[in-house]
Structure 1
Amino acid sequence: MWGIIPAAGSGTRIQPLAFSKELLPVGSRLDGGTERPRAVSEYLVDRMVKGGADKIAFVIAPGKFDILQYYGGYYSGGEVDGAALIANVAYVVQPRPGGLCDAIFRARHLVHPSEPVMIGLPDTVWFPDDALATLPDDKLSFLLFPVEQPELFDAVVTDDRGRVLEIQVKSAQATSNWIWGAFKMPGAVLHELHALWEARERRDEFMGTLINAWIGQGGEAVGVRAGTSYVDVGTVRGYRAALNLLSDGLLNGTAREAAE
């Protein structure tokens, strides 16, 4: 299974940094008995591997070679039930800024239609860390988190069976307080979404508007309310919230989110 991580953004909300925002140290981890700082993107990689991914594709901008230097071609993280979290790592370049859809579809050639793929954002920290395992492999599914300010994110409206009715992209009139933090789909659906994006002349910058169009044409998606805590680490305020989240060991309750 592939995990695609769009990491080409410039991180203007938290710059200036001397490195890519995905390598911002947040918390720490033990490495052979030695404690070392942990890059924020490692939390997502660990969660993807726990969710079943054995291959990770970073989509990076041309100048973000420090991500390649940090991860190399092989990731070995923490452990689950005594087994190491291991994945091969690949890199795809987004030549110029083009939005989230463009970044994700840059990696589509790596994904076979029969193979599941999961997608998440590298500057977030969320719990529970095994929540991706709750998403089905055979359909487009979103991992949802409750927040107090859904207008800052992409709110997901579902019916009583969990079917996605609409994604409200950073809408001041958001009618759901559940937002997506990651999603999963069969490789075939990824390719279908890319074909639709091309047919719409690549005008969708955000996945939410593209998914709405896909649903409007008869596509189906589900939302799984398995998330409990979610932090966007893309701002200084979010950085502090992530440190508090990790320090408190918060695994339940309403997510904390960082505003501009």
Structure 2
Amino acid sequence: MWGIIPAAGNGTRIQPLAFSKELLPVGSRTDADGAERPKAVSEYLVERMIAGGASKICFVISPAKSDIVRYYGGGIPGEAATAFVVQPQAAGLCDAIFRALPLISADEPVLVGLPDTIWFPADALARLPDDRLSFLLFPVERPDLFDAVVLGEGDRVVEIQVKQPDAHSHWVWGAFKIPGRVLHDLHHLWRQPGRGDEYIGTLVNAWLALGNEAIGVRAGESYVDVGTLDGYRQAVALLAKGHAP
């Protein structure tokens, strides 16, 4: 199983930094030799993807983010294989994810997550099914800052409301699992004239309107976006508690 990590963004909300935002130190980890060292925020997602079954991790990076290659190029704990794909210029989340498509076969499930987030429980991705598009959902106080997911009968996704001021759900997606064939189908739709969506939510809404189905899995407990200074403080506090609120 592949894990795709879109890491090509400029991180303007938390600049200036002397390195890629995905390498922002948050908390710490203990190496095999017992030494404690700072832990990059993106390591949390890598660990969660491996816990969710990923054996291969693909980072989608911009040409300027060679520091991510240096950081992860020597190998990832957990023996996951590592690949790097370049997004030539910032063109939105959909474009970043689809840059990894040449690596993805139709019969292989894929995990997608955001590298500047920290969430619990750490094993939540393992609760998503392999055979359909499924979103891992988290309850938040300000759904208007995220992509809120409206569910219907049987936890089917009715709509994804992208940063909508009057969001109808306090559940937002933090990661998702998707069969390779569905990812290729979404790419085909994305390439249709007049589309080229920036956000995965608007693209999925169009895909649902064609009669397809996705589900939301409300297995998340706590979710923090570390892409802002306030989010960084929340992440530090969350980790200090050792888990969810």
**TM-score, scaled to structure 2:** 0.98
Q: Relative to structure 2, which stretch is displaced further, 130-139 or 242-251?
A: 242-251
* 2:110 counterpart SS class: strand
In structure 2, the residue matched to 1:36 is 37
Structure 1 alignment gaps of length 5 or more: 77-84, 254-260
Matches within 5 A, 1:130-169: 130-169=123-162
How far apart, CA to CA, are the structure 2 residues paired with 1:73 and 1:215? 40
Measure, in 1, the Cα distance between the counterparts of 2:70 and 2:212. Answer: 39
Moved over 2 A (4+): 200-203
CA-to-aligned-CA distance 1:104-132 (integer Å, 9 cap, x gap) = 00001101000000100000000000000
How far, CA to CA, are the matches of 1:23 and 1:202 in structure 2? 32
Supply the distance in 2 between the matched residues of 1:201 and 1:68 (Cα, whole angstroms). Answer: 34
Q: Does 1:123 align with 2:104?
A: no
| 1:173 CA displacement | 1.2
Partner of 2:97: 104
Q: Which 5+ residue runs of structure 2 have no aligned equivalent? A: none
Aligned: 1:19 with 2:12: no
How many angstroms apart in 1 are the aligned matches of 2:195 and 2:207?
A: 14
The amino acid across from 2:68 in the alignment is I
Distance 2:192 2:74 in 1: 34
Give distance in 1, aligned partners of 2:54 and 2:116: 19
Q: Matches of 1:202 and 1:75 in 2, distance apart?
A: 36
TM-superposed CA distance for 1:203, in Å, is: 2.9
Give the root-mean-square deviation of aligned CA atoms.
0.9
**Rounded Cα–Cα distance in structure 2 between residues aligned with 1:175 and 1:168:** 8
2:218 to 221, 225, 242: 225
Partners of 1:232 and 1:238 within 8 A in 2: yes
- In the alignment of these two chains, the number of paired residues is 244
AA in 1 matched with 2:20: S
AA matched with 2:23: L
Look up the SS of the partner of 2:166 in the other structure: coil
TM-score when normalising by structure 1: 0.92
2:176 to 169, 175, 183: 183
Tell me by how many angstroms 1:219 deviates. 1.1
Partner of 1:72: 73
1:108–1:191 Cα contact (<8 Å) kept: yes
| 1:88 aligned partner | 81
Q: Provide the residue aligned with 1:234 in structure 2.
A: 227
**Match for residue 3 of structure 1?**
3
Aligned equivalents of 1:144, 1:121: Cα separation in 2: 13
* TM-aligned CA deviation for residue 159 of structure 1: 1.1
Shift of 1:160: 3.3
Show CA shifts across 1:33-70 (max 9, x none): 11000000000000000000000000000010000000
Counterpart Cα distance in 2 of 1:26 and 1:61 = 22
* One-letter amino acid of the structure 2 residue matched with residue 141 of structure 1: S
Aligned to 1:244: 237
